[in-house]
Amino acid sequence: MATATREEVIQLLEQAYCMELETVTNYIANSVNLDGVRAEEIKKSLAADVTEELTHAQQLAQRIKQLGGRVPGSASIKLGTQVQPSEDTTDVVAVIHGVIEAEQAACTHYMRIIRACDGEDYVTQDLCIRLLAAEEEHLVLFRGFLKEYAKS
């Protein structure tokens, strides 16, 4: 992707903002809804990640504002692209797969923004590099959880 216009960068940031808010919503739901002894570590991890993902949304909102955009309100938030919490509250593996998918999508999207800003908007690029690093850390953690659950 060639260097994006300011408006295009704002749109990409708004999309990332919506993705982070959807992640927060799903992580809260899964951290509460999961049942069973095997679910406890996943629930704790997701509950802890809620704060970090919400901070990501706040950082994105600040950057949107700095670039001259308006942070979307609830009527403008686009949700529903992520895997939804399972109806089976003991299906820990489904939750792990959902987290992995959400984190991979976030990594892909942050890479898109990083490329779009290259050589032009170093502040947005730096923010998205830091967010990418955090998402990659979550991805590695949940891939590790999946390995452990695959043995069972």
Tell me the pTM. Answer: 0.94
Give the residue ranges of the chain where pLDDT is below 50: 1
- The single-letter DSSP state of residue 43 is H
Where helices occur in 67-91 by DSSP H, the ranges are none
Domain residue limits, the chain: 6-71+79-151
pLDDT at residue number 3: 79
The answer to whether the beta carbons of residues 9 and 113 sit under 8 Å apart is yes
User: Using CA of residue 95, residue 31, residue 134, residue 56, what is the dihedral sign?
Assistant: positive
pLDDT of residue 2: 62
Model confidence over 59-91: pLDDT tens digits? 999 999 999 999 999 999 999 888 899 899 999
CATH C-level class of 6-71+79-151: mainly alpha
pLDDT at 131: 98
**Model pLDDT, residue 116:** 96
**The pLDDT value given to residue 5:** 94
d(CA 17, CA 12): 9
